[in-house]
Structure 1
Amino acid sequence: MADGIAQLPSYTAEKNVSDDDSLDKVAQNDVDVVDEKRLKEVEEFEERLALDEASEEEYLVQDAHDVAIKACLLPNSFLSFFQRSHLVEGLINQGQPRTPSDNVPDNLSRVGILSFWSPQTLSVSTLFLLVLSYWFGNGLHHIMPTTGIFKWLNPGPFNIKEHVAIIIMSSTAANSATAIQVISVQDLYYNNKMNAGIAIFTLIGSQLLGYGYAGLLQDVLVKPTKCFWPANISTANLFQALHYDNQMTSKRVRMFWLIFTFMFCWEIIPQWIFPLLTGVSIFCLANNHSPVFRNIFGGASNNEGMGLLSWSFDWNLIGSACLYNPIWLQINQDIGIIFTYILMSAVYYGNLWNAKSFPFMSQAIFPAWFSATNALYLITSNLSLGAVVTHVALYHWNDLKPFVKSLNPWNKDPWVVHDEHYEKMKAYKPIPRWWYLGVLVAAYAIAQANRKSYFPPSANYAGNSGLPWWALTVLAIISFIFCALYGTLAATIGFYEFNSSGTGFFQMITAYIVPGRPVANMYGALYGQHPMIQGIALLQDLKLGQYVKLAPRVTFSMQMIGTVVGAILNYVMMLSIITNNRDALLSVSGTRLWSGQNAQGYNSNAISWGALAPQMFGPGSTYKMVPISLAIGVILPFPFYFAHRMWPKVGFNNLNTSIIMQYSCFLSVGINTSVNPAMVIGIFSQWFVRTRFPRWFTKYNYIVAAALDGGTQVISFILNFAVFGASGTAHAFPTWWGNDINLSADRCLAPEN
């Protein structure tokens, strides 16, 4: 391939360099010269891509290196700080509240923790924050002085590094809500209101543990090319399109704003005017009195059904992950979804675990019983957790080995990374490892201090977790190990579906080391699961900074500020939401607008593991397979691994049993009508378009993903305040056939309450 990327030497695999063979000055200089030459060749190749001068074959994306080079082409001012302080207050989470809510503060910070209390658990859209900050940043640049004594307030045009710094801070703050589960469950189900100071320190401490994990793992999960973090690609693509001006990006920007505008207008219809479009099921339209049809084919309302063969026209539910997640991740997910339809139907209609005595789907606990589908989810999640240990050990040991070796203080082998993006980052001062170690020690101290009450007796509820110091230490170590394991899958294949399963796992572990203590069980899950999730999120931010060449110390600072601000605002919003919507949050199915499903699930597991573990999960008990499945999961990857060693060209290495098992009861909670369109769109984008139209895919696929999400999330934000009641008064669309409040959104029989 003339002048193509295929001619460039491959450095996608990193390697150790020992003192004996190549650490002398001459050899190191040779390495630097080769890296510099390769970097220049890659830059020239990217210029040809940008000018549309490359061949069709050269645009084809086949691996992580191709994505990093072809999709992601190779500063603090007052303006930047001013935006950060206001955006974080205003955009601390983007959710789906759609209900009247009296006495709630009318300010932007209320969009915070809302997604935690919505029927469909929606994550914060970085693209939503990105678009708004782009408008806001450029607007401020034009109205603020650029000359005179105040020109330092606005030193130049709003640039990509300022923009990324804002997004990292605001998204860090926006994702602070996970630890709120312990505090909210105490309030909702035990009428214990935690002291505000202890609550905020609990939030901050549990997050900062994750910072320490991220700092220790960044050498192996951020710098190498193999760790390309698929979730970052569309975001980095949009940053570059908006801020770099050349022939290709100008076309991409026009396409972005065209699709963005269309989605901005379209989403008003399914979200407000015509809710039936969130889940069109011909079976429910034909029969809205059958509970069987509801359980199998319904799924447009929370805890309604599996949504088999239904179709959603609401991109707010579908999301753009299907456009950027690698094809094999999506195939593994789809296999798991197929198992879901079979397994959930089998356990319920086979009346396993007395299934028909309880709702088809529910996260609540019925004295010593779960709904059958919830119990099944506990089993498949543990199968996944066991499998991830073996899968990473078998297929990714060489990626993690350098980190393990670095724990040896006598190890003198440096870790040499050959990555074009990382080469550019060498211009900045790196973050010393001791910074992260300091954060880790401080967070550990906060966590230990919060175990006991240091507040006066007048405080209604302080930090008495009942969790011994040694138990917290054990849980933190296990959390770090799983942060490395799941971080590897998130970095290399884009797998993130381990949040709720991680919670159940740590509750199970806590039940064995601190039995009979439900409150301690919740804290065990908090200090086990939350730092793991936060550490992975911070690693992803560090990779985004590497893609857009943001100084690592700026990234670190933005993450720290976002953590503190986010903890405070999430706590304030939690109090407001619980006060005004307690009844809806305590019901099984909630409403179309508010749902306590996350808190219910958390509390159910805490009670079952913390107080009833021997009766529910011990030998001879109803759910004895839940802990046993963890051990079974460990052996699941071996058949595919041995098959891969025997027939290496068949592709058995692409089958990931951890992902398949995690998705094998994926539809046991929430709104499920988005699954089918996501499966179809994902295969169409990542297989058909990527292989048949590589030029279009490389140039536009990730921009389309950003535009679809961006337009959807911006109008969702506006609708929340304008008509769904986030500002205090809701304005429901008049009832009609497509908006019948007596039925589910897809006109199925309403779910059991």
Structure 2
Amino acid sequence: MFISDPNVIANPDMYHQLIYEMRIFALLTSTSSAYPEVRAVAADTDDPTQPSLTIRVWVIGTLLSAIGCVINAVFVMRYPSISISSNVIQLVAYPIGLGMAKLPNWKLFGLELNPGPFNKKEHLLIVIMSGLGMAFPPTQHLILAQAMPQWFGMEYARKAGYQFLGALGTNMIGFGFAGITRRFLVYPSYCVWPASLSTIALNNALHDHAGSTTPVRGPGKTVWRASMYKCFWVIFGIYFVYYFFPGYIFPSLTIFDWIAWIKPTSGTLVAITSSNFGVGFGFNPFPTFDYNYLSMPGGYFPMFVHYNFLAGITTGMLLGIVFWTRNVLNTGYLQINSPNTFDNKGKKYVVRNIADSVGRLDTVKYQKYSEPYMSAGRLVSFIGTFAYTTGTLTHTLLYNRHELILGFKGMSIDVKHWWARIRGKPVNEERINAGDDIHYRLMQAYPEVPEWWFALVVLASMVISFVCLGVYTPVSPAVVMMAPIITVIFIIPVGIVTAVSGLEPSLNIISELIGGGIAGGDTMTVQFFRMFGSEPVYHALIYANDLKLSHYVKINPRHMFWVQMWGGLLGTFITVSQWNWLMAIPNVCTPDAPFRLICPGGQSDYSNFIFWGTLGAPRLFGSKGRFKWLLLGFPLGVIFPIMMFILKKRFPRNHVLQASHPLLLILSFAWTSGASWGSYIPGLFINLFSWNFLKKRYLEFWSRYNYVTLAALGTAISINAFIVFFALVFPGIDFPAWWGNGGGTPGCIGSWTNADCGRYKIGPKGYFGPDPGNYH
């Protein structure tokens, strides 16, 4: 990093400056973290004697996990969904913990009822346990798609044994892989996990009321003395009141389509500037007055993440506009950026029109109905998704190969030690440090969890999954052996991207593509290939993020193991126990469902499984498939990172090249479909102010207030949304209709039709593309 600086190589007189910078870096890494955002929230000291896994953790964590599971299992089926955030859990747990700290110090099952003041470690263990109990949306969507009669209607999907074993298997496989990959995703200091920092900031604010009131210099020669605790409650109160406007009174503040309103009947203007879902790409520099609308909120992520992602998604959307205007693959007849699949009349593709009773392709029905078509934005997303698949592996090998070698070397040494102990031979205590900062060194005071504990969890979960398929379904249990290969291959590369950038890529399309290629028209194989292929990665990243959170706060790793194990088991049991009851609600998962329980996730999964299973990858992407050229994304994912790597080496002084992140540029392409440019640009503006202005000029001010402000905003939004729903929406108290709450969205923004808004109009035949009976 220092020696390769071209300015130093070209100017030997700068050696003294190089030595000075190296000393500063060495000092930071030995006494704290090299990353200011980590130094802002994570303490560089620890008291290993401080109690953490207390009876308070078990009682409060179990209680809040149970309540959260009940709420989230219901509202994940609602559109728009409502969920409990970790910061809301933290806020609710705090007074309960303080109350239990006033109880007598009796002993219960050998545990002290009140071992002392309620502390930060206990508090975060409660948050982690409760959060894990509520992390089940993907599996729930899958079960809904399988069980509901309007979709697959499979009887085995309603059996409690199948539901419990399937959910437990996918969840615990993720837990095991998160533990096995700690030396790659948790211990290294560059794996910051930005999403965890605001959680720690709120924890610091709550447990240090007075906090630091040392004056810090702020913008405009101001001096600030407010503690983090006071800052949290002031920001929380202001935004809690304000959010009644975009959340209830004036929803148009969320999507402020002022450019499209100039001429809402212009299909082209709306397609380019509107942020309404699927209708346009949202090229609008001032699109919202609602912080909750931002897809990439400012303040959380490093500047390079915003720069790269916005550059990539801008390029992807411009490419989508070219596809749409040139009518590539008939995209000009459709909405420009819808994530849906369409038929040849421009309507949503009804997958039941081509499938038999068990979801297999009926060629007669297919030839009478239509081939599938996709929007311009979705074509770009497929290119990006395929490129991301190979690009993840290529980028990781190019840029993280040294860390991978070090990690695997350390893992092999640990395996040798374990094998030597089993055989009763002396062990050479050679170790390789997987971490390089103060937090890793402080964690050496605690006994580590051996890798074989997590390996046993993975093995047991595989057996559970094997039993699940073998006993309850007609699908071969061999899927359980094949699908997790996706997890093994991608968990480290995807985990590194998430840990560094804070963005969590999805592997669903890849697992469905592979499963569809293997299945040969069998939708059930596609379902289970995704269930045991990509969903464990989703769970593994949640567990890994929590492991990093505990790493920053110096929680005993073995305490974390049992808390995560219990949180996963408890969440599985409570969530699964509700599914059959929820599926028995009249009209649930239909447009007529009460309280908007229309199950958008289940509908999406059903369509995807039919698309990839019934139609199948060979028909869509084979030698005669209309979408075969989208597969160019795979070689592009290899070529682009290598090309950027070479250019960075060739032009070390080019700041644009050095700041580029090839994988984030590719990932932004994959996220184009259904996205809005306007949901990303405000985050860049906020981040320019936070990271480029405040952080560079007023580091103390930024360190004290940045993350606690973000925690306050997120908590205010979550609590306000719950109050609005239960106090106003649930009883049916609607705000009087006016233009600001959707009382008539004009033109193509709210009522898109091909006749009025399509770039190309459907002809007198009433459809576009080949005639019925001539479909591939």
Counterpart CA distance in 2 for 1:532 and 1:148 is 42
The answer to whether structure 1 residue 423 and structure 2 residue 441 are counterparts is yes
Q: 1:269 aligns with which of 217, 234, 245?
A: 245
- The change in CA–CA distance for 1:137 and 1:407 in structure 2 (over 3 A counts) is closer
- The match for 2:768 is none
Letter in 2 for 1:197: G
- The match for 2:661 is 656
Deviation string 1:181-229 (CA, Å, 9 cap, x unpaired) is 3212113421225112211211110011111211111023212222222
Counterpart CA distance in 1 for 2:296 and 2:34 is 19
- The match for 2:190 is 226
- The change in CA–CA distance for 1:627 and 1:199 in structure 2 (over 3 A counts) is farther
Q: 2:491 aligns with which of 464, 483, 494?
A: 483
The answer to whether structure 1 residue 351 and structure 2 residue 361 are counterparts is no
Letter in 2 for 1:722: A
- The match for 2:152 is 190
- The change in CA–CA distance for 1:751 and 1:603 in structure 2 (over 3 A counts) is farther
- The match for 1:723 is 728
- The match for 1:171 is 131
Deviation string 1:369-411 (CA, Å, 9 cap, x unpaired) is 1322333322211112221111111011111112333454559
Q: Is the 8 A contact 1:467 1:523 kept in 2?
A: no
- The match for 1:542 is 547
How much does 1:433 deviate?
1.5
Q: 1:383 aligns with which of 384, 387, 402?
A: 387
- The change in CA–CA distance for 1:209 and 1:264 in structure 2 (over 3 A counts) is same
Deviation string 1:332-351 (CA, Å, 9 cap, x unpaired) is 11112212331232223322
Q: Is the 8 A contact 1:522 1:606 kept in 2?
A: yes
Counterpart CA distance in 2 for 1:252 and 1:166 is 21
Q: Is the 8 A contact 1:303 1:751 kept in 2?
A: no
How does 1:396-407 map onto structure 2 within 5 Å? 396-406=400-410
- The change in CA–CA distance for 1:238 and 1:552 in structure 2 (over 3 A counts) is same
Counterpart CA distance in 1 for 2:327 and 2:442 is 60
Counterpart CA distance in 1 for 2:123 and 2:26 is 32
- The match for 1:67 is 37
- The match for 1:448 is 466
Deviation string 1:230-254 (CA, Å, 9 cap, x unpaired) is 2212211221222136642761111
Q: 2:302 aligns with which of 323, 326, 340?
A: 326
Q: Is the 8 A contact 1:124 1:175 kept in 2?
A: no
- The change in CA–CA distance for 1:634 and 1:153 in structure 2 (over 3 A counts) is same
- The match for 2:227 is 251
How much does 1:707 deviate?
1.1
The answer to whether structure 1 residue 516 and structure 2 residue 514 are counterparts is no
Secondary structure, counterpart of 1:323 in structure 2: coil
How much does 1:595 deviate?
6.0
CA RMSD of aligned residues (A): 3.1
- The match for 2:537 is 532
- The match for 1:735 is 737
How much does 1:11 deviate?
8.1
Counterpart CA distance in 2 for 1:321 and 1:555 is 29
TM-score scaled by length of structure 1? 0.81
- The match for 1:260 is 236
Deviation string 1:350-373 (CA, Å, 9 cap, x unpaired) is 222222444441434635413223
Aligned length in residues: 666
- The match for 1:463 is 473
Q: Is the 8 A contact 1:84 1:170 kept in 2?
A: yes
Counterpart CA distance in 2 for 1:153 and 1:747 is 63
- The match for 1:146 is 104
Secondary structure, counterpart of 2:236 in structure 1: helix
Counterpart CA distance in 1 for 2:247 and 2:468 is 42
How much does 1:149 deviate?
7.6
Counterpart CA distance in 1 for 2:436 and 2:687 is 31
Counterpart CA distance in 1 for 2:751 and 2:586 is 20
Deviation string 1:535-564 (CA, Å, 9 cap, x unpaired) is 122111111001111111221122122212
How does 1:592-607 map onto structure 2 within 5 Å? 596-607=599-610
Letter in 2 for 1:491: A
Q: Is the 8 A contact 1:227 1:488 kept in 2?
A: yes
Counterpart CA distance in 2 for 1:330 and 1:5 is 27
Secondary structure, counterpart of 1:112 in structure 2: helix
Deviation string 1:90-124 (CA, Å, 9 cap, x unpaired) is 224xxxxxxxxxxxxxxxx22336346434x7876
- The match for 1:434 is 452
Q: Give the number of the structure whose alpha-carbon radius of gyration is greater.
A: 2
- The change in CA–CA distance for 1:740 and 1:68 in structure 2 (over 3 A counts) is closer
Secondary structure, counterpart of 1:163 in structure 2: helix
Letter in 2 for 1:694: L
How much does 1:507 deviate?
0.9
- The match for 1:50 is none
- The match for 1:644 is 648
Counterpart CA distance in 2 for 1:748 and 1:441 is 51
Q: Is the 8 A contact 2:512 2:530 kept in 1?
A: yes
- Once the two structures are overlaid, the 10-residue window that deviates more, 537-546 or 689-698, is 689-698
Q: Is the 8 A contact 1:380 1:661 kept in 2?
A: yes
Counterpart CA distance in 1 for 2:710 and 2:391 is 31
How does 1:582-597 map onto structure 2 within 5 Å? 596-597=599-600
- The change in CA–CA distance for 1:177 and 1:113 in structure 2 (over 3 A counts) is farther
- The change in CA–CA distance for 1:653 and 1:8 in structure 2 (over 3 A counts) is closer
Counterpart CA distance in 2 for 1:209 and 1:490 is 19
The answer to whether structure 1 residue 135 and structure 2 residue 95 are counterparts is yes
Counterpart CA distance in 2 for 1:626 and 1:467 is 31
Counterpart CA distance in 2 for 1:676 and 1:506 is 31
Q: Is the 8 A contact 1:177 1:567 kept in 2?
A: no
Q: 1:609 aligns with which of 576, 594, 612?
A: 612
The answer to whether structure 1 residue 306 and structure 2 residue 281 are counterparts is yes
How much does 1:272 deviate?
0.8
- The match for 2:205 is 241
- The match for 2:763 is none
- The match for 1:392 is 396
Q: Specify every segment of 5 or more residues in structure 2 that has no aligned partner in the other structure, as ranges.
A: 1-16, 45-51, 214-225, 343-348, 350-369, 418-427, 755-776
